[in-house]
A and B are shown apart, each in its own frame.
Chain A
Amino acid sequence: MQRDLVSFPLSPAVRVKLVSAGFQSAEELLEAKPSELSKEVGISKEEALETLQIVRRKCLTNKPRNDSTSDTSCRKCTALDLLEQEHTQGFIVTFCSALDNILGGGVPLMKTTEICGAPGVGKTQLCMQLAVDVQIPECFGGVAGEAVFIDTEGSFMVERVVDLATACIQHLQLIAGTHMDEEHEKALEDFTLENILSHIYYFRCHDYTELLAQVYLLPDLLSDHSKVRLVIVDGIAFPFRHDLDDLSLRTRLLNGLAQQMISLANHHRLAQVGNIVQITKPERMHSTVSNHSQKHI
């Protein structure tokens, strides 16, 4: 960190000696040990130690506090706590029993799930289905949350979501019919087509810059809409594929994006008791040319 020594609350005498010894910034200072510093600058060891502590403390306060606290609290929980958490966490059903069985109940919350596959295999359809299923009321075994859908490919079809939502409502009505429960009836009243569609927040990103911008703004969005339980990025690798020639930049941006999403999931788990699952849909996370593009043509 290129912070000027003048900005630190050091005693003037020590500061003068440091400057005349050639130390300009905090960075240079932090490399030294107290004993070395005292010898070079001409101050006592205690003064050197104090100086280093002040500088270190100041430097550390500039780093994100929330990350460090969340790290420590993450590290502190035991496996038993995690086990309990995992048992109580909800799943988002996919309505494909084979898939739900494999996944152990559905798409898990508090985790990032990647869906990969050849073009045309049904990834966008699955994402749209999940955006509807996350809203299933709790008495039906759902998560009763809202969804954010970030679309980079433009393959989102409103008409299809209407179909899926209508089918879901009918399915739940059948179930409610067999239960004859008041709770179920009441929950179904709110589970209308209009409500379902209103709780899917849709963003269309045309290139990777808009995607990056949107991900930076996600934390604010999630705090505004605290009921969001699912964030879908449909086509996380797509915008990076054609516009970026610099492969190292591409890799760095993609990795940074992935890390941000993961830290977002963790952070919101702490901020809210609720949970967030994120689905990213990369077709290829890396820059190698694969057979997919050939088949596509």
Chain B
Amino acid sequence: MYTARWRNTGERKSDSGEGFVERSQVLFFAGSGIMSNKKLRRVGLSQELCDRLSRHQIVTCRDFLCLSPLEVMKVTGLSYRGVHELLCTVSRACAPQMQTVYGIKTQRSANHLPAFLSTTLSALDEALHGGVACGSLTEITGPPGCGKTQFCIMMSVLATLPTNMGGLEGAVVYIDTESAFSAERLIEIAESRFPRYFNIKEKLLLTSTKVHVFRELTCEEVLQRIESLEEEIISKKVKVVIIDSIASVVRKEFDTQLQGNMRERNKFLAKGASLLKYLAEEFSIPTRRKEHLYL
């Protein structure tokens, strides 16, 4: 599902905080590979060349870069040097921007974005270098009954807390595939862990309004939900995305005994993972996938 996306191309200006904020406020739609699906017409190639290429079904940057130089020579009729220049032009249109690590670091501190969301379990926080990493995908695995869903519910509470209490002061998207989420339990955890903060009923209700639960029962639905998450994230100021659990929905649909299912399953998982990672990086939110391990 690819839709149009607008993004600042061209020279990247100095790594100021504004650039990053601008990006997160721009309305764009899900789908990794926007750069690679860029039409060659927009790259700056001559109309004649584009027409010639489209006659051979080469329309996007991706199609073009998958060809070997020899094929490009055959299709365009250019010399090797010409082909090389053409490849560079197309590559420049879809290659990622360079950043130095120092630039990334200063950008993050300028935006006051927290690097980790503390789990308030000190031993775990120490092991994880501060907590659950913001801006990347974290997987929680373990045998059934060890407390993964409870952990996820607790993280939901933490995410809604104000920043002076170690939270992210934002909303949570909770994609529930097992119908294991219990709102009652959410309130219970909030009350018992932070009794002084949640002393008024209103605060509890406020927290529960910030957790958006989506019940998705099939792989297809989960993927569609992830793809449409961007709008939710922007409109509801979501700070944490939890998927509970990806393994159960995959196990239900893909019987690993059957041939060919393995590939489909991996494809689905990889696609989901790359979409989530993309979201995590764009919005600098921690995303969590819960999995079971059955050995």
- A residues sitting closer than 8 Å to B (CB atoms) are 1-2, 62-64, 149, 153-155, 157-163, 194, 197-210, 212-214, 216-217, 220-221, 241-243, 249, 252-253, 256, 289, 293-294, 297
Contacts and interface: CB of A to CB of B under 8 A. Distances in A.
B5 interface: no
B248 to A, nearest CB: 11
A217 B108 contact: no
Contacts of A201: 98-100
Interface in B239-295: 247, 250, 256, 262-263, 266-267, 269-271, 274, 277-278, 280-281, 291
Contact of B104 (A62, A158, A252): A158
B65 A207 contact: no
A273 B215 CA distance: 61
Contact of A217 (B73, B88, B262, B266): B88
Given A160-B129, A203-B96, A207-B36, A216 B91 contact: yes
A256 B263 CA distance: 24
Contacts, number: 137
B6 interface: no
B105 A162 contact: yes
B234 interface: no
B189 interface: no
B101 A200 contact: yes
Contacts of B66: 209, 212, 249, 253
Interface residues of B, number: 57
A95 B168 CA distance: 37
Given A197-B101, A199-B100, A206 B91 contact: no
Interface string B54-70: 00000001100110100
Interface string B146-175: 000000000000000000000000000000
B91 A207 contact: no
Contacts of A63: 80
Nearest to B278: A206
B201 interface: no
6 contacts: A198-B103, A209-B65, A212-B66, A216-B87, A256-B68, A297-B291
A63 B69 CA distance: 11
A214 B95 contact: yes
Given A209-B35, A242-B270, 9 more contacts: A154-B281, A159-B129, A200-B101, A203-B98, A205-B96, A206-B35, A210-B96, A213-B61, A216-B65
Contacts of A203: 95-99
